[in-house]
């Protein structure tokens, strides 16, 4: 079945780095753009980044621009999020999400996200 | 940046009652609006895309309406499993996306 599985979360000190992975299965990964979305404890959802289906374009929320890098390896059906210069306010559950195919945009998918991973927790603390 | 404001923050209702949730955009987002349901400890689930279209497998008691700046998610008759937090989302500010702050539907 269609599935996304995140990994790589953990506890990290402020200023350090962490790389998250999202393994995709059950669909043609290389055809879809992909997103990262995060949720701080007890808070709402925050969109983090998007990458085009072929990796040609990447966009970020202002809160992570210059610190986080989204990437993908279509040969491995895997999405990544490299997080540098981590801060306490980056503490959150990080979800990878696949856009639906209801309407196809240039980046590889719709505006809504129909497949989500289970999330991986990142805690930034000294 | 387009801001989505959801109201009310909390909705206290009983099973069988009708729930009406609002999402207002700070500027027009056309029909580029989606609704999600999230239960505690779970990932969000897509309910509605393009303002009024139910996602695959979503029960007919869920409906979405609106365009421009004002949108509504209606649950016609609440089932016990519908008590959760609901988020609206837009992507009109291409190519970035934003979510509303959420509405919690709780049992009265």
Model confidence over B26-71: pLDDT tens digits? Answer: 999 889 999 999 999 999 999 999 999 999 999 999 999 999 999 9
Q: What are the pLDDT tens digits along chain A (126 aa)?
A: 999 999 999 999 999 999 999 999 999 999 999 999 999 999 999 999 999 999 999 999 999 999 999 999 999 999 999 999 999 999 999 999 999 988 888 888 888 999 999 999 999 999
Question: Is A45's Cβ below 8 Å from some Cβ in B?
Answer: yes
pLDDT band (50, 70, 90) for residue B91: confident
Nearest by Cα to A118 from A30, A37, A64, A56: A37
Cross-chain residue pair A117–B43, CB shorter than 8 Å: yes
Query: Contact at 8 Å (CB) between A52 and A38?
Result: no
A vs B: CB pairs below 8 A: 66
pLDDT in tens, B9-35: 999 999 999 999 999 999 998 899 999
pLDDT band (50, 70, 90) for residue B92: low
β-strand partners of A83: A18, A68
DSSP state of B94: T
A112: which chain B residues are within 8 Å (Cβ-Cβ)? 34, 46, 49-50, 55, 89
Decide: residue A55, CB within 10 A, 0-12 exposed, 13-18 middle, 19+ buried.
middle
A96: which chain B residues are within 8 Å (Cβ-Cβ)? none
Task: Determine the Cα–Cα distance for residues A105 and A85; give it in Å rounded to an integer.
Answer: 32
């Amino acid at each position: 079945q269609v599935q996304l599985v995140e990994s790589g979360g953990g506890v990290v000190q402020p200023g350090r780095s962490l790389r998250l992975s999202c393994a995709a299965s059950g669909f043609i990964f290389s055809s879809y753009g992909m997103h990262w979305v995060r949720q701080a404890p007890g808070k709402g959802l925050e969109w983090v980044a998007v990458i085009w289906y072929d990796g040609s374009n990447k966009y970020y929320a202002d809160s992570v621009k210059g610190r986080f890098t989204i990437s993908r390896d279509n040969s491995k059906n895997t999405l990544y999020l490299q997080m540098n210069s981590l801060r306490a306010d980056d503490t959150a559950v990080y979800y990878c999400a696949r856009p639906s195919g209801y309407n196809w945009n240039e980046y590889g998918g719709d505006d809504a996200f129909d497949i989500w991973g289970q999330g991986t927790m990142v805690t930034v603390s000294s | 940046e387009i801001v989505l404001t959801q109201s009310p923050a909390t909705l206290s209702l009983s099973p069988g009652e009708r729930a009406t949730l609002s999402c207002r955009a700070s500027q027009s987002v056309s029909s580029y609006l989606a609704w999600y349901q999230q239960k505690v400890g779970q990932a969000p689930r897509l309910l509605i895309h393009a303002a009024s279209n139910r996602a695959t497998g979503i029960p007919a008691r869920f409906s979405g309406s609106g365009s421009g700046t004002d949108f509504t998610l209606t649950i016609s008759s609440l089932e016990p499993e519908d008590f959760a937090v609901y988020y609206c989302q837009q992507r009109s500010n291409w190519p970035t996306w934003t979510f509303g702050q959420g509405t919690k539907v709780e049992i009265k």
